[in-house]
Chains A and B, each alone.
Chain A
Amino acid sequence: MKEDLMLDLERKIEKTIYKATLALDENNWSEFFELCDESFTYAITSFSPEINKNMTYFSGDRKELVGLMDMLPKHNTDHSPLHRHTSVYSVDIAEGGKSATAISSVTIYQNMLDGINSHLDSGESRLFVIGKYIDQFSIIDGVPKFTNRETKLDNRRLDKGSHWLL
């Protein structure tokens, strides 16, 4: 593939990841799903040195995720918004330019709203989790769409917080 085409694709992929970050920060699930392929699957994973194993904390396909997000308003969930800081570290476009893999570092802060005593706690920002996004894309007509996202956390201590897409 030509270099300028590659560069263009790389930029598009980065843009998609950043757009996804903004959409997720705003809990705008439909905008996020628009960036995803129909075959999209999602997982939150972690490696535990305590038990020496890779673990999956959460997984779902597009249909399951959409269902889960629709249910959110009915759940007793924490309302503290999350704020992601994402940096795309690498983008690897497969030969032929039909798919790509990108690795980004992500740090997620929780801006406290709910609290044991929200009178005291609300407004404070706490580090929530750190990890990486390992994203797979399909590229159709020059448009990258997420086919899979693995949010690989470093955290094994996960306290009270939001139970939605990180």
Chain B
Amino acid sequence: MDFEAISDAKDAEQSDRGMSEKIAEVPLNPEFIVEQAHIFRNAWVPVCHESELPEPYDFRTASIGSENIIICRAPDGKINALLNVCPHRGMLIERRPQGSFLEGQASGNPKRITCMFHAWQFDMRGNCVYVAREKEGYQERFSKDDAGLRRLRCTVNFGGFVWVNMTDQPVAMLEEWAGPAMQTIENQISAAPLEVVHYHKEYVETGYQAEALQYLNAAKAGALFDYGHCVITGSDLGSGKQDSSARFPDPKSQRVTCVHLFPGYRFELSGPVLNVSVVTPVDRNRIMIEHRGLVPQTESQADREMRSKYYNLSHGPFKTPTTVSGEQSEKSLLSEHYLEEWSMWMGTHPEGLSRINEKSVADQDGDQETNQALTGPHIVVIGASHAGISMADRLRKNGFIGNISIFDRQVGGPMERPPLSKGFLLGGGETVESKSLLRQKKWYKANKVKLKTQSVVHKINRDNKTITVNNGDVVKYDKLVIASGAVPKELPSSKGIGNAFVLRQPADANAIRQAANNSDSVVIIGGGYIGLEVAASLRKKGMDITVIEAGERILARVASKPLAEYLNKLHEDNGVTVITNVGVEGINQEAGIFNNVTLSDGRVIKGDMLITGIGVYPDSQLASDAGLETQFDNGGAILVDNDMRTSDEDIFAIGDVAIRREQTIAVESVHNAQETAAIAAASITGANRPNTQTPWFWSDQYDAKLQSVGIVPVQDENVYQVERLGKRDGAVSFWSYRGDELVAVEVINDPATYMEARQCLDTRRFPDPKQIGKPSYSPVDSGGSRS
């Protein structure tokens, strides 16, 4: 169970990405998106009939706009509608069209809705009843009580239909909205419990509006009702030999009445059957219509067959087509009524009448805590990590008083990343408390920053300056800041294997920590900072560790040779096996669980778990889909100018996802995230550009605290290092020079020297390379050469 959940953690990351890519491919028409947001998110939708989920724990899935929903019957018989999206990482939970939660699924317990990705479980009311490793993983930051599935407004009414409204504050309650129109058939459709006996779907290449208008024009006349509805009474079916006073549900009924509800639902009594057709727009010119045929629940087989025949003749997929008439339908009063309603939703009503009240708009944008819409421009930030949060902070510090919204796909308050490979892995939970949050809850409130977690941005629509979020919200921006960071690289052969991990997000660290509690040995591929930090942390837990590095030495991309040698020895002294200069030939599993790695020299390294730390790639898919310039045709970092502005002047990119045009080496660090945020914020607000610092970085391994300032140009053969011992035991630093120019300093356990080194680099006063090795020589007081 644990293994499954853990390996699924990676799958979720993968499919998460896959999913956003897929959605981004669908070219949705901007007007369509607005219609979805204005009309379909606010309308009541008859999503299914109660007979489709007759027993407790039965469920049915449906969609409204781009939202997936589950309708399920609770043990007390009540029907609830829930968003079919896991609050953990926004994954789709239930994929079947219909079924029962009574029996446990492969990945879940009986009577529970279980997300197959990390096994979070929910009851039939959407309450979260189980979070895998809740206490160990999240401590006080998060409780399952905060993580229910979003419950939607849901009512069973009008002949047993299940009506759902996506908004918490509908413009009108269902009774008020549809009651008067439905009144005309209510007695008939509620006379006996009904059952759906016929179902089919139809895709039609037309818009929902055109489809409705065609129907209404053909009908010509009918009674008009508020909210754009109408009732059309048709001519009776058949030859008139039948009993003309009979009404549905009487099998002899020949009467035809249709209640047409805005924006596109038809409740048609066609003699002895009720047909209900519900439209779901797929795009501007494509709709799906679901047709349901309903008859009374208890009756003879013969009656049922007779009704079915009627149904098929007028509503089935093989119904008799209309006969050729050549007559064109004229625009009817009914369609004018419909169009007037439509204009009230779309803000185009000639007299300015509007259905969208403040309540419903607020609800669409709403975040319970910080739902105070401010005046002024709207800055939208994608990614609530080091860069995104710094951005909001700097904007406010620069005096920006407009709206700031930050979207992130993660659950819970945004957390710092550096502790994840360090102290976090050691603890049974006690080492990460709320101090690892990037900001406390009250900060968002005080700074009026709207934080939207579990919100994946699917698309940037540059034409109308909006973004599309996974819940269907379309959010307008004046300036957009992309701070989507980076995603760890994986070896293809490790994908899908249990107990094989990468490390980037809190959930990854959590999964590693959990697996480590049940493992004795770990193989780490990649001798970079993350791999080495994880090695040090897990070694402290007493695990057997092997680090495999393909390069000639560890830290070959990021650190000087002497520092690498120092750390290599440190690891070996602590009992870690470090293997360099050898590639990985194969990653081998047993029964789906990681077992060993075969090296290119034939060696086989066994382990209970595998961690891959071979670098990251910038998460720039959104940007390249939107046509922003990136390093390569198919990705790479987003190219920005010195103000962190992308090729679109209203869009900025910061942190790990961005690279300046003239920059040759990508710097993935907290400092870079903060500094690029400060530069972009200054550019947006017109504040003074911040003084830039020499890049800095830190790492903790065993008892060694590394602090480094400047970037070591590892490829440059003219760069050499001088070692300097510190005053305290174990303190040492490596000073990298190009000629007399100091370029970087790496310091172990010597904060004072680190501060001096930083001062030298920031002020560009370079101590004498021939002297720096002497502990008695002071780098700052020496009045060293200035460039």
Contacts and interface: CB of A to CB of B under 8 A. Distances in A.
B319 to A, nearest CB: 7
A163 B308 contact: no
A163 B471 CA distance: 39
Contact of A157 (B52, B98, B200, B305): B200
A156 interface: yes
Contact of B318 (A49, A57, A159): A57
The 8 closest A-B pairs by CB, nearest first: A158-B317, A58-B318, A157-B201, A75-B321, A50-B97, A51-B199, A48-B199, A159-B203
B196 interface: yes
A77 interface: yes
B324 interface: yes
A119 interface: no
Contact of A58 (B196, B197, B312): B312
Interface string A54-84: 0111110000000010010011110000000
A10 to B, nearest CB: 31
Interface residues of A, number: 26
A51 to B, nearest CB: 5
A49 B97 contact: yes
Interface in B306-356: 308-309, 312, 316-324
B565 interface: no
B771 to A, nearest CB: 80
Nearest to A166: B318
Contacts of A50: 52, 60, 97-98, 199
A116 B207 CA distance: 13
Given A59-B312, A75-B320, A163-B318, A157 B202 contact: yes
Given A49-B98, A56-B308, A163 B319 contact: yes
A156 B52 contact: no
A151 to B, nearest CB: 10
A159 B199 contact: no
Contact of A51 (B196, B305, B308, B320): B196
Given A68-B320, A76-B323, A158-B200, 13 more contacts: A44-B318, A46-B200, A48-B199, A49-B96, A51-B199, A55-B200, A57-B318, A58-B316, A75-B324, A76-B324, A160-B205, A163-B317, A163-B321
12 contacts: A50-B60, A50-B98, A53-B196, A59-B308, A74-B324, A75-B320, A156-B201, A157-B201, A157-B288, A159-B202, A159-B204, A163-B319
B199 A56 contact: no
A53 B312 contact: no
B321 A77 contact: yes
Nearest to A162: B318
A158 B98 CA distance: 19
Contacts of B318: 44, 57-58, 158, 163
Give the one of B199, B312, B317 with max A CB within 10 A. B317
B312 A56 contact: yes
Contacts of B378: none
B324 A156 contact: no
A51 B52 contact: yes
B200 A156 contact: yes
Interface in A103-117: 116
A49 B61 CA distance: 12
Given A50-B52, A51-B52, A58-B312, A76 B199 contact: no
B198 interface: yes
Interface of A: 44, 46, 48-53, 55-59, 68, 71, 74-77, 116, 156-160, 163
Contacts of B52: 50-52
Interface string B75-87: 0000000000000
Contacts of B324: 74-76
B204 A160 contact: yes
Contacts of A158: 200-202, 317-318
Nearest to A56: B308
A50 B97 CA distance: 6
Contact of A76 (B51, B202, B288, B321): B321
A64 to B, nearest CB: 10
Given A58-B312, A59-B309, A158-B202, A53 B322 contact: no
B315 to A, nearest CB: 10
B98 A116 contact: no
Interface of B: 51-52, 60, 96-98, 196-205, 288, 292, 305, 308-309, 312, 316-324
Contacts of A77: 321
B323 A74 contact: yes
Contacts of A53: 196-197, 199
B328 to A, nearest CB: 13
Contacts of B201: 156-158
A51 B288 CA distance: 17
Nearest to B49: A51
A57 B323 contact: no
A50 B292 CA distance: 11
Contacts of B305: 56
B203 A157 contact: yes
A44 B96 CA distance: 25
A57 B321 contact: no
A116 B203 CA distance: 13
A49 B51 CA distance: 13
B205 A55 contact: no
B145 to A, nearest CB: 34
A158 B199 CA distance: 11
A55 B273 CA distance: 15
A75 B322 CA distance: 6
Contacts of A48: 199-200
Nearest to B288: A157
Given A57-B200, A157-B200, A52 B98 contact: yes
A74 B51 CA distance: 39
Give the one of A71, A74, A77, A159 with max B CB within 10 A. A159
A59 B312 CA distance: 8
A55 B318 CA distance: 13
Give the one of B96, B288, B320 with max A CB within 10 A. B320
Nearest to A129: B317
A116 B286 CA distance: 12
A71 B292 CA distance: 27
B599 to A, nearest CB: 49
Contacts of A58: 312, 316-318
A159 B288 CA distance: 9
A156 to B, nearest CB: 5
Given A49-B98, A116-B205, A57 B322 contact: no
B203 A55 contact: no
Contact of B199 (A44, A116, A156, A163): A156
A51 B316 CA distance: 16
A74 B324 CA distance: 6
Nearest to B51: A51
Contacts of B51: 51
A156 B289 CA distance: 12
B198 A55 contact: yes
Nearest to B293: A55
Contacts of B198: 55, 57
A136 to B, nearest CB: 19
A19 B204 CA distance: 33
Contacts of A156: 199-201
A64 B380 CA distance: 64
A142 to B, nearest CB: 34
Given A44-B318, A57-B200, A75-B320, A51 B312 contact: no
A159 B324 CA distance: 20
Contacts of A159: 202-204
Given A56-B308, A58-B312, A116-B205, A163 B200 contact: no
